[in-house]
Chain A
Amino acid sequence: MGEPTTKIGGSTRRSEDKRFLTGQGRYTDDINMAGQTYACFVRSPHAHARINSIDTSMARDADGVLAVFTGEDLANDGIGGLPCGWQIHDVSGEPMAEPPHPLLAQGKARYVGDHVAVVIAETKQQARDAAELVDVDYDMLDAVISPAKALESGQPLVHDEVPDNRCYTWELGDSGAADEAFERAHHVTSLDLVNNRLIPNALEPRAAVASYSPGEDHYTLYTTSQNPHLARLLLSAFVLNLPEHKVRVVSPDVGGGFGSKIYPYAEEATLTWASKKIGRPIKWTAERVESFLSDAHGRDHVTRAEMALDTDGRFIGMRVDTKANLGAYLSTFASAVPTILYATLLAGQYTTPAIHARVTAVFTHTAPVDAYRGAGRPEATYVVERLVSQAARDMGLSQAEIRRRNFIPTDAFPYQTPVALNYDVGDYDATLTRAEELADVAGFEGRREEAQKRGKYRGIGYSTYIEACGLAPSNIAGALGARAGLYEAGEVRLHPTGKVTVFTGSHSHGQGHETTFAQIVSDRLGIPFDDVDVVHGDTDRSAFGMGTYGSRSLAVGGSAIVKAMDKIIDKSRRIAAHMLEAAEADIEYDDGTFRVAGTDKSLSMAEVAFSAYVPHNYPLEQLEPGLDESAFYDPTNFTYPAGSHICEVEVDPDTGRVEIVNFTAVDDFGNVINPMIVEGQVHGGLAQGIGQALLEGAVYDAESGQLITGTYMDYTMPRADDLPSFRVDTCNTPCTHNPLGVKGCGEAGAIGSPPAVIDAIIDALRPLGVTDLEMPATPLRVWQAIQDAQGRQVA
């Protein structure tokens, strides 16, 4: 587990744990306000329906009901819809189709779970009971679920104004160069791939408590958000037209996010608006079925991918055509996920010189689809690594050899890929070498033979992935369509007694920022770890923030804190020079101590802080009192975590059951602040990636559009006995462009692992003639693949 030192690089045990372990965590549903009421949303039971009328009279008359609101009430108040944060342009040059996304349905419901009305009552049960009495007169309409089908002519339209349900078609890369590579290719590997739709399922359901204070004309919203400042900005400026300085958004302890809690949703916006209408606080907590129906889902791509190789097995070209399901409405980052966060990663770790990607984004009658752990990068990795592994089999090369022949060499950095990104640093061979050692690849054939004797089939699968994290340089993001900046803010406040409060715009919902950020500050300022407090998740306390997603908290949020500390140290040096009666140039700083060079005269950071607040002996003519500095950090590039995952499976051919017997992940995350926390992030990411590969899949009925997998009885969450014990390690090359040299580790496990699992199964079942397998590789699907392959061999 590593040494628990509190310096950078030490596995400090987490500060936040004591409250979580003793039931003192404070999650949104734990918060209650005087006079609180309860909301229940009436949701569409149909995937596509015209709403002829909504009769709320019975509900209004029910016991305890205070109000019932529909889309008409919101429209009458001039309330806008939920905005999309990223504008992609179609190949035609026109902006993407951007149909309205109302908080409560206006005239039509477009997916099962779409919000139709809200009932507010004195108790939760009264709200639920009254919601049953809202009488909605629907005309059921045909629905379309599959993105490929939705593009066909004559299919039902999700939005009447969007022909063929096509939001945009977008391209990246040089199609001429790619075509030319395929013309001269020695071999072409082609695959049709489905990246299965997932439901994030953070264990804490989304929740909100909204209130309005007429005396101060002020709103307070407690909500389960990964980015409270962004929630406040979007609610104020785009949805409710509220004065931003009169809105406080608090994200207290949040029980996991994985992307699904980035976005402002209809529920908290409606509650905020309604809290003023009824003059009472309102609480809403999702039931799990509501999470399934209306949290933004992830993935859901259908892709045709081709790789062109020369006679030596070198990749000379790649072509990718993807149809991405957006669901019924554009969620906040939905348009960026299958484009900017996807196609830019198609070079992987390789020198492929010509790549072309075409992405068609499609509306369907399903819940909105947006970023889920990895967001675009797992989809890209799945395409690249499945192609590479298949190409190795096609060309008779080992999985390691084909990768090594095509890796970007360590002396080629910085490396400009043909799909926009500029990788700063990496050592792909190092992680692969270490992963092969750790996975004992040398002993694999022996294990395969041993398994064979027991009637089991063993296989091994590789994935050497890369991701772009630390989102993002604002100017590049802006040029690519982002409607917001992607910097982060931090503030470091030394108190007169030498204690420190750090305010960050990043948000922890499991990542342990209260520990990691305190380690950075303790290390840099020489202040005891226990004297540093980290504050996050409150727009009234942290100045600003863009929140936590895209493995950005440490690389961007941590860097902002370092910049603020640089200012603290600069000012402290000047204070110390005055106090020590020395020239500023003669003051040396090390580990919290200011020393006059060549003497034993010194001051601690705490002594300087005291002087800054009690400025009796202080350079008042040059410096303001106080020791409190803030900074914004805008990165100059993405960070590029990368690594090698090796999966070993054993398949029972009689049942189709797959057991992961070994899973090895060796990652390059740049410098590591807290190895224990990093390892935990890898474990969690692997669990979600393995979940995608073997267990999880959101299924809508193709005809009715009903969500078939709407509870934990139907959607298979990875449980303890579904997962192996992991072997993880790191081989780190520090990031070259942020002050901590860090890259981010939150998404790696989910990005790298799925193709390794699937290729391990394909490798295992090669003797039986199995050549392809779709995720999730459930026992039924594996068994069926074996039967089909055997049938083909007999025929």
Chain B
Amino acid sequence: MNVSMTVNGRSVTADVDPPTLLTEFLRDHLGLTGTHVGCDTGQCGSCTIHLDGRAVKACSVLAAQAEGARVVTIEGLADGNGDLHPMQAAFREEHGLQCGFCTPGMVMAAVDLVNTYPNASDTTIRENLEGNICRCTGYENIVRALKSGAAGMGDQGNG
């Protein structure tokens, strides 16, 4: 079947098998390997992307369901001028990543979290990161990064 959507600002159309997951479409068809797959049960959150502005787990969405949608992956988060998005910069500054595998999903979830709760407390942040597993950091620096990234997003006046 044919699917069309906008991915990181670019219109894409492809012929896919109906059961193709959005993760497979992004990774295998578009070569956007920043979206990672860490489990088969929608639990780990490594594949989190933005679908029409909201964070979703791309392993739980069929490519066909994203027909006509606006998809942003970790590759498309920054403005394209070579600068990191404030949340990406905050993760680096606060050492909110180690092996980097959960990181793209974590950053995409973090941006959505800040858009939803611009002044989130530590507790709100921790509760809302429940859908993203990190095995390396113990989350301490992810929470710090998220708060710092929120401030950076506020300064920049964008999501």
Q: Judge if B10 is at the interface, Cβ distance under 8 Å.
A: no
Given the contacts A14-B92, A256-B101, A288 and B136 also touching, CB distance less than 8 Å: no
Question: When chains A and B are docked, how far (Å) is the Cα of A289 from the Cα of B40?
Answer: 8
B100–A255 touching, CB < 8 Å: yes
Complex Cα–Cα for A711 and B38 (A): 11
Say yes or no: A683-B138 contact (C-beta < 8 A), given A21-B88, A25-B100, A202-B99. Answer: yes
Q: Would you call A73 an interface residue if the criterion is a C-beta within 8 Å of the partner chain's C-beta atoms?
A: no
Residues of A within 8 A of B132 (CB): 719-720
Residue of A22, A29, A512, A680 with most partner-chain B CB within 10 A: A22
Minimum Cβ distance to chain A for residue B97 (Å): 6
Closest Cβ–Cβ distance, residue B75 to chain A (whole Å): 4
Residue of B at shortest CB range from A682? B138
B74 touches A288 (CB 8 A): no
B50-58, B102-110, B150-158 - the one binding chain A: B102-110
A window 468-515: CB within 8 A of B: 509-512
Contacts of B48 in A (CB 8 A): none
Size of interface on B: residues with Cβ below 8 Å to A: 57
Roughly how many angstroms separate A676 CA and B96 CA in the complex, as a whole number? 10
Chain A contributes a number of interface residues (CB within 8 A of B) equal to 58
Tell me, in angstroms, the Cα distance from A728 to B130 when the chains sit together. Answer: 24
For B107, the chain A residues whose CB sits under 8 A away are 21
CA distance A26 to B44 in the complex (A): 19
| Cα–Cα distance between A255 and B125 once the two chains are bound (Å) | 24
* Assembled-state Cα–Cα distance A25/B34 (Å): 7
- Decide if B98 touches A29 in the complex (CB within 8 Å): no
Query: A795 to nearest B CB, angstroms?
Result: 41
A1–B94 touching, CB < 8 Å = yes
How far, in angstroms, from A711 to B43 measured CA to CA in the complex?
9
User: Is the pair A17, B97 in contact by a Cβ cutoff of 8 Å?
Assistant: yes
| B129 close to A (CB within 8 Å) | yes
Given contacts A258-B135, A712-B44, A720-B126, are A21 and B99 in contact (CB under 8 A)?
Answer: no
Question: B residues within 8 A CB of A149?
Answer: none
Instruction: Let me know if B122 is at the binding interface, CB within 8 A.
Output: yes
Whether the pair A719, B129 counts as a contact (CB closer than 8 A) is yes
A24 proximal to B (CB < 8 A): yes
Whole-angstrom CA separation of A202 from B33 in the bound complex: 18
- Who on chain A is nearest to B43 by CB? A712
Contact of A721 with B98 in the complex, beta carbons under 8 Å: no
Shortest CB–CB separation between residue A509 and chain B, in angstroms?
5
Determine the distance from Cα of A488 to Cα of B6 in the docked complex, in whole angstroms: 49
Whether the pair A20, B97 counts as a contact (CB closer than 8 A) is yes
Chain A minimum-CB-distance residue to B38 = A203
The smallest beta-carbon distance between B150 and chain A, in angstroms, is 15
**Measured between alpha carbons, how far is A655 from B107 in the docked complex, in Å?**
34
Cα distance A253–B138 in the bound complex, in angstroms: 20
CB-defined contacts of B143 to chain A, threshold 8 Å: 720, 725
**B91, A21: Cβ atoms under 8 Å?**
yes
Kindly list chain B residues whose C-beta atoms are within 8 Å of the C-beta of A201.
Answer: 135
B116 CB to nearest chain A CB (Å):
16
In the complex formed, the residue of A with least CB distance to B26 is A23
Between A253, A258, A680, the greatest number of chain B beta carbons within 10 A of the residue's beta carbon is seen for: A680
Ranked 10 nearest A-B pairs via Cβ: A23-B34, A255-B101, A20-B100, A510-B99, A687-B138, A712-B43, A683-B138, A510-B98, A30-B33, A23-B74
Q: List 28 A-B contacts (CB under 8 A).
A: A13-B93, A18-B92, A20-B103, A21-B74, A21-B84, A21-B97, A21-B104, A23-B74, A23-B104, A24-B34, A25-B101, A30-B33, A203-B101, A203-B102, A204-B36, A204-B101, A205-B37, A255-B100, A256-B99, A256-B136, A289-B40, A510-B99, A510-B136, A680-B136, A683-B139, A685-B138, A687-B139, A720-B142
Known: A203-B99, A680-B137. 11 other contacts (CB 8 A): A1-B94, A20-B100, A23-B35, A30-B33, A202-B99, A256-B101, A288-B44, A676-B95, A683-B137, A712-B133, A749-B138
- Residues on B close to A: CB < 8 A? 17, 19, 27, 32-41, 43-44, 46, 73-75, 77-78, 84, 88, 91-95, 97-104, 107, 122-123, 125-127, 129-130, 132-144
